[in-house]
Structure 1
C-alpha cells in the first residue's frame, strides 16, 4: 500500500470520526430514510447487520464482526488489484526517477517531454498509473456506509457484547486500545516490503493513525471500536498471507532461474 493510499485512509478516518462527533445525521436509519446515501448505502448495510444478528441469536457484537469480515472479503479483489498496481509502479520507480533527473522540472518544455516519455514507459510496461486509485475510491463509500450503519442502527445501541454496552464507549478502554494496537501492527506489516524512503515517510502516520483510533474509541460507542479491531485483525491476516504468497512466488522464480 503506497503512501498516498494510507493518506486517503487517514483522511477518511478523520472525516468519519469528525462527522460522528459533530452529530452529522445520526438519526436512526430505517427503510423510510430518504436520500440516495441513506436509502441505497446505509440502510441496506444496517438491514444486513440486523438480519445477521438474528441468525446469531441476537448478538449484535458478533453480527458486527461477521459483517466486517464479509465486507472485507467482498473488497479483497479490489485490494489485490490495488496491490498489483502498486507493485508494478515500484518496479518502474528507478526508470521514472531517471526521467525526472534527465529533465529540468522548471522548464515547461522539459516537463512536457518528461510526461510524454512517462506515458510511453507506462504503455510499454502495461501499467496504468491510475489503476491503484480506482479500487480505493470504490472502497470508500462502502466502508463509510458501514461505519454509519453501525452508528445509526438503533438496535445496536441497546445491546451488549462481552463486557461492553455497544451504544456507549468502553468503560475500561480495552477495545479502543486493542483497535489501536491492531492498526499499529497492520501498518507495520504493510510497510515491511516497502522501499526504505517510503517507509520513512510513513513513520509519522504509523503512530498518528493508532492514536486517532484510540482517541475516537474512547469518545464513541464501543461498537465502532469493535468494528475497527475486527477490520485490523482481518487486514493483518490478509497481509501476512499475501506476503507469504509473494515470498513463495519469488522463491519459485529464483529456483527456476537456477535450473536454467
Structure 2
C-alpha cells in the first residue's frame, strides 16, 4: 500500500510540474490565462511583489513569503512528521509479521494483510496521514518554483540582489548553502534513523546543489530559507539531543 501511495504522489507531482512546463520560463502577468497561472502562479507572484514593495527588495519579499508558506503548512508538516515517527515505531513489528507470513500463497497473504491492518490501527498509524499533507503542499511548492522562474523572465520584475548575489543569475554560493542546509534537514529528521532513507541524505543535497547552480539565485534563496525553517521544525519536534542522550544511556547500560 505504501508503495502505491508513493507512486500516486510521484504521478501527481509530475502532473503538477508538467502542467506549467509549456509556459516555464515565459513572462507572467495578470492577463496570463489558465488555471495554473490564474490560481497558483500569479497569486504567488502578486504576494511576493507586495512584500517586495513593502520591504524594498524582492529578496526580502521572497524570504517573507517563503516563511509565510512554511508556517501555513506547518500543521500539515507536523502531522506528516508524527505519522512518520509512528510508522518507524512499528517497523520492528511489521518486519516480524513479514517474516511470520513469508509464504506467498493467497491465504497466508490475506492473513498477513489482516494482521498488518490491525497492527496499524492499534498503533494509530495511517499511511495516508503521511502522504496527504505532501500532496496538499505540492501545488504551493511547485507553484512557488514556477513563480520565481517566470518573474525572472518578466521585464517588469527586477529581482535585484541578495547581499552580493544577483537573484536573476545562478549563484554557486547560494546553491551550495541550500544543499548543505538540506543535509542538515535530513540529519535532524526521520531519515537519519531509516536505513532505506539514508541514501537520500547524500543524493538530495547534491541534486539541490546541481539544480541551484543552473537556476536563478532566487530559487536557491527560497530553498535556503525553507530549509532553515525545516531544520527549526525538526529540532523542535524530534529533539535530537534527547535521542543522543538516550543512545548514550543505552550504550552505557549495555557496557555495564
Q: Are 1:94 and 2:99 matched, yes or no?
A: no
Partner residue, 1:258 = none
Which shows bigger deviation, 132-141 or 157-166? 157-166
1:87-166 to structure 2, matched below 5 A, reads: 87-153=85-151, 154=154, 155-166=156-167
Match of 1:183 in 2: 182
Contact 2:85 2:190 in 1 (8 A): no
Tell me, which stretches of 5 or more residues in structure 2 are unaligned?
247-256
Once structures 1 and 2 are overlaid, which stretch shifts more, 22-31 or 176-185?
Answer: 22-31
Aligned length in residues: 236
Q: Who is 1:233 aligned against?
A: 228
TM-score by length of 2: 0.81
Deviations 1:23-61 (A, max 9, x none): 75322222211111111111111100000101102x000
Aligned to 1:211: 206
Aligned ranges for residues 167-182 of structure 1 at < 5 Å? 167-170=168-171, 173-182=172-181
Which residues of structure 1 form unaligned runs of 5+? 252-260
Report the CA distance shift for 1:163/1:136 in structure 2 as closer, same or farther (over 3 A). same
1:202 counterpart SS class: coil
Alignment-derived partner of residue 49 in structure 1: 48
Name the SS for the 2:239 alignment partner.
helix
2:216 corresponding residue in structure 1: 221
Question: C-alpha distance in 1, partners of 2:109/2:51?
Answer: 55
Does the C-alpha gap of structure 1 residues 207 and 30 become closer, same or farther in structure 2, counting only changes over 3 Å?
A: same
Separation in structure 2 between the aligned mates of residue 192 and residue 99 of structure 1, nearest angstrom: 23
Q: What SS does the aligned partner of 1:131 have?
A: helix
Work out the CA distance in 1 between the residues paired with 2:120 and 2:111: 14
Q: Please report the RMSD computed on the Cα atoms of aligned residues, expressed in angstroms.
A: 3.1
Between the aligned partners of 1:111 and 1:79, the Cα distance in structure 2 is: 33
Listed one character per residue, the Cα deviations across residues 125-160 of structure 1 (whole Å, up to 9, x for unaligned) are: 333222111111111111001111111123555422
Give 1:193 shift.
6.0
Distance 2:42 2:218 in 1: 17
